[in-house]
């Protein structure tokens, strides 16, 4: 995971936030990595939430979260921080070779001119490949429950930070809540009201024996629960499926937008193509 930091903060950063120096510094560093896709001017990492930092936060919200009117604040576990953590930085271009011309050799010792060789340029992939066990589990869920594989992978990225932030000992990357009598672990979690106000509660989350069991339960949930009926009507349209999960799978009012941004930035659409089936 080196080179792809996952940032946590102790208080809100930005307009109206606590703006603790360590939190501001962490956000400035994260923004510098992520915003390289659209800006060549890095923020000064000084731990002070000034005009430039506020502007960078608002710009990130507009570009990544899709907010028409950005509030300029990054909350604990809010949509902006979750998406910034889920995104991958744009690879830096290799430095250009120096323009110093090669020395001119005497005619008698000049090497022969090499023949041109055709090279195949590999297709560009945004970010890292998900682990093969995640890809396989998502495809198995699609085959059995008709949940688009890229939706399951995008939720794995968003809900668990690519498996790094599951409830301890749970094997539960999807934030599936536990019903009475089911094996569970209880942790503090963030919820959101319909108006967008955040609050925290302690809740029991399902505990699974394996990651494959979690994908199986996730697929069954989306395929059978009446709350996801609208999503099921869009099984052939992943973007519409993601939008239909907003306010249903999660209370986050930007949930569908977050999923679609991850699907685009990580090129997850290829996992729904027949040619992408693993061997």
Reduce the secondary structure of the chain to three states and give it as a string. Answer: CCCCCCCCCCCCEECCCCCCHHHHHHHHHHHHHHHHHCCCCCCCCCCCCCHHHHHHHHHHHHHHHCCCCCCCEECCCCHHHHHHHHCCCCCCCCCCCCCCCCCCCCHHHCCCCCCCCCCCCCCCCCCCCCCHHHHHHHHHHHHHHCCCHHHHHHHHHHHHCCCCCCCCCCCCCCCCECCCCCCEEEEEEEEECCCCCEEEEEEEEECCCCHHHHHHHHHHHHHHCHHHHHHHCCCCCHHHHHHHHECCCECCCCHHHHHHHHHHHCCHHHHHCHHHCCC
Using the predicted structure, report yes or no on whether residue 4 has a pLDDT greater than 80.
Answer: no
pLDDT tens digits, residue range 35-67? 766 677 888 888 899 888 988 888 888 777 655
pLDDT tens digits, residue range 87-132? 655 444 444 545 555 555 454 444 444 444 333 333 334 457 899 9
On the CB side of 46, CA atoms within 13 Å amount to 9
Using the predicted structure, report yes or no on whether residue 143 has a pLDDT greater than 50.
Answer: yes
pLDDT tens digits, residue range 173-224? 998 999 999 999 998 877 766 666 777 888 899 999 999 999 999 999 999 9
Residue 88: both structure tokens together: 């991958």
What pLDDT, on a 0 to 100 scale, did the predictor assign at position 1?
36
Residue whose C-alpha is closest to residue 13's, from 59, 63, 45, 47: 47
Count of CB atoms situated within 10 Å of the CB of 138: 27
| Predicted model pTM | 0.61
Could you tell me the pLDDT band of residue 276, with boundaries at 50, 70 and 90?
Answer: very low
């Amino acid at each position: 995971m080196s080179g792809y930091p996952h940032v946590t903060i102790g208080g809100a950063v930005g307009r109206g936030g606590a703006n603790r120096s360590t939190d501001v510094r962490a956000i400035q560093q994260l923004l510098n990595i992520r915003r390289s896709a659209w800006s060549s001017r890095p923020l000064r990492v000084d731990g002070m939430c000034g005009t430039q930092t506020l502007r960078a936060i608002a710009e990130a919200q507009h570009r990544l979260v899709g907010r028409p009117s950005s509030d300029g604040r990054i909350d604990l576990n809010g949509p902006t921080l979750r998406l910034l953590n889920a995104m991958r930085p744009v690879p830096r271009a290799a430095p250009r070779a120096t323009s110093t011309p090669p020395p001119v050799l005497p005619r008698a010792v000049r090497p022969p001119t090499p023949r041109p060789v055709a090279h195949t340029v590999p297709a560009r992939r945004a970010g890292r490949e998900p682990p093969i066990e995640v890809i396989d589990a998502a495809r198995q869920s699609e085959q059995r429950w008709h949940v688009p594989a890229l939706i399951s992978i995008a939720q794995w990225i968003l809900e668990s930070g690519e498996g790094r932030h599951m409830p301890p000992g749970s094997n539960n990357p999807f934030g599936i809540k536990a019903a009475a009598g089911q094996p569970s672990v209880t942790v503090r979690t963030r919820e959101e009201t319909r108006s967008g106000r955040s609050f925290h509660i302690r809740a029991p989350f399902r505990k699974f024996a394996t990651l494959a069991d979690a994908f199986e339960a996730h697929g069954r949930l989306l395929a059978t629960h009446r709350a996801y009926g609208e999503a099921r009507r869009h099984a052939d349209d992943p973007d519409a499926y993601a939008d239909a999960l907003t306010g249903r799978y999660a209370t986050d009012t930007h949930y569908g937008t977050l999923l679609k941004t991850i699907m685009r930035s990580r090129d997850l659409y290829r996992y729904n193509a027949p040619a992408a089936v693993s061997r």
